Amino acid sequence: MKAILLAGGKGTRLRPLTIHTPKPIVPIFERPFLHYQLDLLKKVPEIDEVILSLNYQPRRIEEIFGDGSNAGLSIRYVVEPAPLGTAGAVRYAGEKLRESVVVFNGDVLTAVDLASVVALHRERRAKATIVLTPVENPSAYGLVETDATGNIRRFLEKPKPDEITCNTINAGIYVLEPDTFDRIPAETPWSIERSFFPSLIERAETFVAYVYDGYWIDIGTPDKYSQVHRDIMDGRFRAAPFAAHQSHAFVSPQARIEAGAIIEGPCFVDEGAVVKAGARIGAYSVIGRQCYIEELATIDRSILWANTRICQEAVVRRSILGRQCHIGRSALVEDGVVLGDKSVVTDFSRL
């Protein structure tokens, strides 16, 4: 059995972080995000190969994952000649497949029981199975309506309040039969949600839902990207290094924390980082590899990517900083600021 990961997007909602870093490899603590999706796929022993459907900066991704041996899965790369949309990418990557295929959007983090999804697909002899997840505010999403036996009835694109009949949305995880791919035009931008799935309904083919009400998040915005880190620290999503010990401060043995520095859990300090005397690392902060936090600086509820320097008495609060940023002395960066790689904030500046 194969899996296709749709990882070709430009990650525009996460810019400027994704200008030099494709979304599949943005770091969650010290690991590229794609590792978490591969961990989930490894829980289905039948999956013997993962096909990464890429378009944006594919070499950056291949440099990290190679043939997949370090991740414990065989990985093959398919690079779209141009963006083909969600369905077009599936057809392009799965052109020669003859067996059921698991398809995963490249920005979804979840703890769904993928083996149970595959089992339902086979039990119902479905042409397609889609994972749905309930949401608290249905009016903000496109909804997917099912009947009493779990068959997909229709897709509602951001309905008005009086049109809401359910609270389930597309979770971006599918099991598909390749004999349906011929209805997707070759090498043509095509939407899986707006064109491919409606074709299944129109032809009255077996198209079923697996409703999952556990942990699920789309990491594609700065707010959600930050939330993922908090959720892991708090144990809402179980992952290293916080899987066994939530709400504590994880400090790499290779980090250097000087006497008089204040470290408040939960937080994460990666290897090679230096935190000088009098500096404070507040709760829900992430200090990347080789970061340098000078005396009396404050980091609070913020994420710093690798090799960033925070100078004396500077404050970074509720913000995300890319790689190799420099925040000058007594500067203030707060309230949702997102800085791309190599950004410089000069001394005493305020953002």
* Integer Cα distance of 31 and 271 in angstroms: 13
Q: Is residue 125 part of a domain?
A: yes
What is residue 245's predicted lDDT score, i.e. its pLDDT?
Answer: 67
Strand (E) or helix (H) holding 92: helix 85-93
Q: 132 and 281: one domain?
A: no
281 phi, psi to nearest 5 deg: -105, 105
Domain that holds residue 265: 248-345
Instruction: State CA 19 to chain mean position distance.
Output: 16
Distances (CA, A) of 88 to 33, 44, 144, 182: 24, 25, 21, 11
User: For position 192, which CATH number holds?
Assistant: 3.90.550.10
Q: 202 and 323: one domain?
A: no
* Integer Cα distance of 54 and 47 in angstroms: 19
Q: Is residue 7 part of a domain?
A: yes
Contact criterion met (CB below 8 Å) for 144 and 164: no
How many domains are contained in the chain? 2
pTM (predicted TM-score): 0.90
Q: Is residue 239 part of a domain?
A: no
What is residue 241's predicted lDDT score, i.e. its pLDDT?
Answer: 86
Q: 194 and 252: one domain?
A: no
**Tens of pLDDT along the chain (351 residues)?**
999 999 887 778 899 999 998 888 899 998 999 999 999 999 998 898 999 998 888 788 888 888 888 878 899 999 988 888 888 888 888 888 889 999 998 889 999 999 999 999 999 999 999 999 998 877 767 788 888 888 998 888 777 777 788 888 889 999 999 989 888 988 788 988 888 999 999 898 999 999 999 999 989 899 999 999 999 999 899 988 887 766 689 999 999 999 999 999 899 999 999 999 999 999 999 999 999 999 999 999 999 999 999 999 999 999 999 999 999 999 999 999 999 999 999 999 999
Contact criterion met (CB below 8 Å) for 314 and 296: no
User: For position 284, which CATH number holds?
Assistant: 2.160.10.10
What is residue 146's predicted lDDT score, i.e. its pLDDT?
Answer: 87
What is residue 106's predicted lDDT score, i.e. its pLDDT?
Answer: 84
